[in-house]
Amino acid sequence: MKKVLLLVLCFGLALLLAPSASMARIQFVTIGTGGVTGVYYPTGGAISRMVNKKAKIYNMKATVESTGGSVFNINAVLNGDLEFGIAQSDRQYQAVNGMKEWKGKAQKKLRAVFSIHPESITLIASDASGINSIADMKGKRIGIGNPGSGQLGNSRDALALAGLDEKKDIQAEYIKAVEAASALQDERIDAFFYTVGHPNGSIKEATAGRIKVHIVPIPDVQSLIAKYPYYAKAFIPMKFYPNATNKEDKVATFGVKATLVTSSDISDDIVYAITKEVFDNLEAFKKLHPAYSVLTKKNMLEGLSAPLHPGAVKYYKEAGLM
């Protein structure tokens, strides 16, 4: 009898000490972002913190990974190496439609969740370079972005606007935006492109050094927008960069949107939780970065060319957004 009682006590104690079923089912998701000085990285951090506050409710924890950018994130999401990725709207469009890096291979598993801040194609040049328009880049050393970044494609489109060939007409430097500011200040390059939300730390760094620099306008973009519907006219407020030598209040350019993407393989519950936390806490989210100030629940459903993930659709229907 004593042995039976001892077994019962041991079994009961084991049940008490065993991890709960909900803890055993906790899922970890990773959000691919971009360079640590860009807007993607803090965006991923903001989303993960919101989700992690409700970790016990959703049985989920989110982490952030700094990556090479849009193309890397889309491919990693599709390969299952990341659950979510932040990517430019043009790259989302190209992946879904089998263009550019995905030429002839439409990525049917890619799913959109929501769009985030607008991103401007920004050209920063030293005053000494004599670059005051994109046509002036001929023969100059230009940072056009690293392979795997969205800005590399945007740089090529901007060059095409001026009829410039990256192999023949400029000295192209395939460097990351995070390295470009110091390269400009060290006079290793004459200018660099950066597709980013404003204000941005790297551009502040580039404009605050010994070498005087300015942001170059890219005003005549109608032909580009007609060819690529994911582009739109944009303006860069110069109040964010008081050390730049520009005299105007804002600089004309073109832009895209940052978007959150995932795969059709990711469960509805996970995508629903991410979407709900961002949208239910949108006012708090908007305070985390000046680039988010223009966000509304309505415009966060714009600029999406991949099919919406069913988990996101579930939330949007509940919230009366669809």
- Neighbouring CB atoms inside 10 A of 308's CB total 18
Two tokens, residue 146: 């690293």
The percentage of residues in the chain with a pLDDT greater than 90, rounded to a whole number, is 79
The structure tokens 């944009």 sit at: 234
At 12 the pLDDT is 53
**What is the crossing angle of helices 310-318 and 268-280, to 10°?**
40
The answer to whether domain 26-118+257-318 and domain 119-256 are alike in fold is yes
Whether the full predicted model's pTM is greater than 0.85, yes or no, is no
Question: Has domain 119-256 been given CATH number 3.40.190.10?
Answer: yes
Instruction: Determine the 3-state secondary structure of 85 from DSSP.
Output: strand
- The terminus-to-terminus CA distance of the chain in angstroms comes to 65
* Domain ranges for the chain: 26-118+257-318, 119-256
Question: What gap in Å lies between CA 307 and CA 126, rounded to an integer?
Answer: 42
Helix (H) or strand (E) holding 158: helix 150-161
DSSP line for 199-238:
S-HHHHHHHSSSS-EEEEP----HHHHHH-TT-EEEEEEG
Tens digits of residue pLDDT in 192-202: 999 998 999 89
**What's the distance, CA 138 to chain centroid?**
29
Peptide bond into 290 cis (omega under 30): no
- Work out the mean pLDDT of the chain and round it to a whole number: 91
How sure is the predictor about 121, in pLDDT bands with cuts at 50, 70 and 90?
Answer: very high
Give the sign of the dihedral formed by CA 269, CA 270, CA 275, CA 278: positive
Q: Which residues lie below 8 Å from residue 20, measured CB to CB, with a gap of 6+?
A: none
Instruction: Determine the 3-state secondary structure of 80 from DSSP.
Output: coil
Two tokens, residue 215: 């942001």
Tens digits of residue pLDDT in 238-267: 999 999 999 999 999 999 999 999 999 999
The CATH fold assigned to 26-118+257-318 is D-Maltodextrin-Binding Protein; domain 2 (3.40.190)
- Neighbouring CB atoms inside 10 A of 240's CB total 16
Question: What gap in Å lies between CA 266 and CA 148, rounded to an integer?
Answer: 23
